[in-house]
Amino acid sequence: METLLQSKAHGGMQGVYRHHSVSTGTAMTFALYLPPGEGPFPLVWWLSGLTCTHVNVMEKGEYRRACASLGLALIAPDTSPRGDGVPDDAEGAFDFGLGAGFYVDATQAPWSQHYKMWSYVTRELPALALAQFPLDAARQSIMGHSMGGHGALTVGLRHPGRFKAISAFAPIVAPSQVPWGQKAFGHYFGEEKALWRAHDSVSLVEDGARVDALMVEQGSADPYLAEQLRPHLLQAACAKAGQQLTVTVREGYDHGYNFVSTFIDEQLGWHAARLRE
């Protein structure tokens, strides 16, 4: 593992690290913030949205002040494999391929060779990070934004014992029912509909997934709200299933990091309360 950056911030240390991933067969880069102190620290996973790398939340998320104050580490992986030989959307569209791994293990060629983000974020990177840094495996939580909100919800719903809290800003809650998800799953999974269900938060709740602490925040001025995000689908599924879910609508906020950075302190505080239990 190679250290690309270490920079003191809010009393702790913002790092950026690169390593060879067995899952994706590529180099992968991630950001990790450690709060002041010795640790082991509770670990918050941040999964990013379409077009993002580890950099977006690191530069625009404004999470370090709250993490330092609450004693939380925060790790931010990349959103797809990258590099020579990694295929991309045929037209270079932003919503598929590079920067758009959707946190799944693709089963269809040519995607199946490198697009193994599920294995990467649920197994390989946790093992690496927990071994290399002063982090507490027993106190983890997960959050994300947009496509990364989808990632946080699906990873969280499928690992109910691992994460003390699961939350998302403006997540894609039902990829099987919206254009971004249909395009991505159509390429990554083809017609294997069982895989679509296993990576769709609404389907997972319908199929019996249950977790303790689930929260979604959504800006009312988000241009993707009606077509791509549709949080009411998750609300309906959770209501029907008796799964707790808090959805908070933030009036006038859009889809970007100004929305995220405004409310991340509070959302991290909600995580911290559950990580202390």
- Within the chain, strands assigned E span 2-9, 12-20, 27-34, 41-47, 73-77, 135-145, 163-169, 214-219, 246-250
Query: Any catalytic annotation for residue 146?
Result: yes
Q: How far is the CB of 272 from its own copies (least distance, A)?
A: 18
Omega within 30 of 0 (cis) for the link into 110: yes
Which region among 175-183, 209-217, 247-255, 268-276 touches its own copies (by CB under 8 A)?
247-255
Is residue 3 involved in binding its own copies (CB under 8 A)? no
Which region among 10-18, 45-53, 151-159, 196-204 touches its own copies (by CB under 8 A)?
10-18
Is residue 112 involved in binding its own copies (CB under 8 A)? no
What are the DSSP calls for 121-171, one per residue?
Answer: IIIIHHHHHHHHSSEEEEEEEEEEETHHHHHHHHHHHT-TTTEEEEEEES-
Nearest to 179 by CA among 113, 249, 236, 228: 228
Give the active site residue among 114, 187, 255, 271.
Answer: 255
Task: Read off the amino acid at residue 64.
Answer: R
Nearest to 154 by CA among 183, 121, 182: 121
Is residue 64 involved in binding its own copies (CB under 8 A)? yes
The 3-state DSSP composition of the chain as helix, strand, coil percent (nearest 5) reads: 40, 25, 35
User: Judged by CB under 8 A, which of 65, 159, 197, 232 binds its own copies?
Assistant: 65
Is residue 9 involved in binding its own copies (CB under 8 A)? yes
If the CB atoms of residues 103 and 259 are measured against its own copies, the closer one turns out to be 259
Per-residue binding letters, 161-200, with its own copies (x by CB under 8 A): ----------------------------------------
Query: Any catalytic annotation for residue 255?
Result: yes
Site for its own copies in 214-233 (CB under 8 A): 219, 221
Is residue 69 involved in binding its own copies (CB under 8 A)? no
CA-to-CA separations, 243 to 141, 204, 248, 254, 274, in angstroms, rounded: 18, 11, 16, 27, 17
- CB of 41 closer than 8 Å to CB of 242: no
Is residue 258 involved in binding its own copies (CB under 8 A)? yes
Which region among 77-85, 184-192, 204-212, 260-268 touches its own copies (by CB under 8 A)?
260-268
What is the set of active-site residues?
146, 222, 255
**Binding site residues, its own copies, CB under 8 A:** 7-11, 14, 59-60, 62, 64-65, 219, 221, 252-254, 256-259, 261-262, 265
